[in-house]
């Protein structure tokens, strides 16, 4: 495993992290408690030191599992969680989750589930439009001073919001969906992070399974798998996107790696820390190995020609999901 600094704030993480949303049932269907625990242990044994979760993953289930599995290994990992992503029955963000009173209660609940007295990185999951981001970051800065969190992060926010937030307290990391299939951060968020010395964490780095080879037809998704609501996994869009993923697999086969490893290495060599999630220990080990791949410029050029920014069919999520993302 390779390690790197996440931005310029002194937080060292493994070049490949572990996204723990997949550890909870009801999100990506079919995970068992035993498989989830085995996947997390495999990540730790492979040298993965960056574990990323959130309080809404399985309504706290992901955090509870991590707290139980980590045990005496807690001090060997960079433990990150998120608050502020709760929604109502229509999928709309609940107001007020960026306020100090809310985030303090949310943190205390997460610390209890994670069985720890502090978090290394604590993110605002989604921007609370009812609370100025300056107020939220100011409250998070107080938690840093109190030693309850070490670093502050934001998730799915715009470049202008990043600049406003960083002016109040140094932001260590921005987390946003980014992959060969989702290139939006290149327009403004990634340049802002590089300008300000903020680390970038890529969630869904394998296109929610399309680049990992796990989804080739609608029948590969369980009936309650939430990806069925995603336009990229519906009808002709899915068929087209699988063909694009197959083109990536062809390049990977020539390099004697998997398509997933190639997609992760593409991100790593762009200075990004991907956090792939999986329920299978074997996939964890394969993902971790991507940290040691070195791609030459010709591979980047070829991937750019095979997967240009407009190559993927369908939006990256449904309307309710996209409505919670800060784009101003």
Q: How far is CA 142 from CA 53, 135, 137, 150, 151, in A?
A: 22, 11, 9, 11, 11
The Cα–Cα gap between 140 and 158 comes to: 19
> How many CB atoms sit inside 10 A of residue 243's CB?
11
- Strands (DSSP E) contained in 138-198 are 152-155, 173-177
Residue pair 274/16 in contact (Cβ under 8 Å)? The answer is yes
The Cα–Cα gap between 122 and 133 comes to: 15
Residue pair 131/96 in contact (Cβ under 8 Å)? The answer is yes
The Cα–Cα gap between 81 and 86 comes to: 14
Decide if 57 is catalytic.
yes
Catalytic-role residue among 28, 57, 122, 123:
57
155 three-class SS: strand
Residue pair 163/183 in contact (Cβ under 8 Å)? The answer is no
Backbone torsions φ then ψ of 140, nearest 5 degrees: -65, -35
Residues in CB range of 179: below 8 A, 6 or more apart: 202, 204, 205, 206, 207, 211, 263, 267
Please report where in the chains the tokens 């899915």 appear, as a residue: 238
Buried b (16+ CB within 10 A) or exposed e, 157-182: bbbebbeebbebbbbbbbbbbbbbbb
**Catalytically active residues, by annotation:** 57
């Amino acid at each position: 495993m390779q390690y790197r600094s996440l931005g310029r704030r002194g937080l060292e993480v493994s070049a490949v992290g572990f996204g723990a949303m997949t550890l909870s049932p009801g999100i990506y269907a079919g995970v068992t408690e035993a498989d989830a625990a085995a996947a997390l242990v495999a990540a730790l044994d492979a040298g993965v030191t960056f574990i990323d979760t959130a309080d809404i993953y399985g309504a706290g289930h992901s955090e509870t599992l991590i707290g139980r599995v980590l045990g005496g290994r807690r001090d060997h990992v960079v433990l990150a969680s998120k608050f502020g992503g709760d929604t109502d029955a229509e999928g709309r963000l609940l107001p007020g989750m960026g306020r100090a009173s809310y985030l303090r209660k949310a943190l205390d609940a997460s610390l209890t589930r994670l069985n720890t007295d502090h978090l290394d990185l604590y993110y605002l999951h989604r921007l609370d439009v009812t609370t100025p981001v300056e107020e939220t970051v100011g409250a998070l800065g107080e938690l840093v001073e109190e030693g309850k969190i070490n670093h502050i992060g934001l998730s799915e926010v715009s470049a202008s919001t990043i600049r406003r937030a960083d002016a109040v307290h140094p932001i260590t990391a921005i987390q946003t969906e980014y992959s060969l299939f989702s290139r939006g951060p290149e327009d403004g968020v990634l340049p802002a992070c590089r300008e300000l010395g903020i680390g970038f964490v890529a969630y869904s780095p394998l296109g929610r399974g399309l680049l990992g080879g796990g989804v080739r037809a609608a029948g590969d998704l369980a009936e309650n798998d939430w990806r069925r609501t995603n336009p990229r996994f519906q009808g002709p869009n899915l068929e087209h996107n699988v063909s694009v993923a197959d083109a990536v697999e062809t390049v990977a086969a020539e390099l004697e790696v998997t398509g997933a490893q190639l997609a992760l290495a593409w991100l790593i060599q762009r200075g990004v820390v991907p956090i792939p999630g999986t329920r299978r220990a074997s996939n964890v080990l394969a993902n971790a190995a991507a940290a040691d791949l070195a791609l030459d410029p010709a591979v980047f050029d070829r991937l750019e020609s095979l997967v240009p920014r407009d190559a993927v069919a369908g939006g990256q999520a449904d309307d309710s999901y996209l409505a919670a993302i800060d784009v101003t």
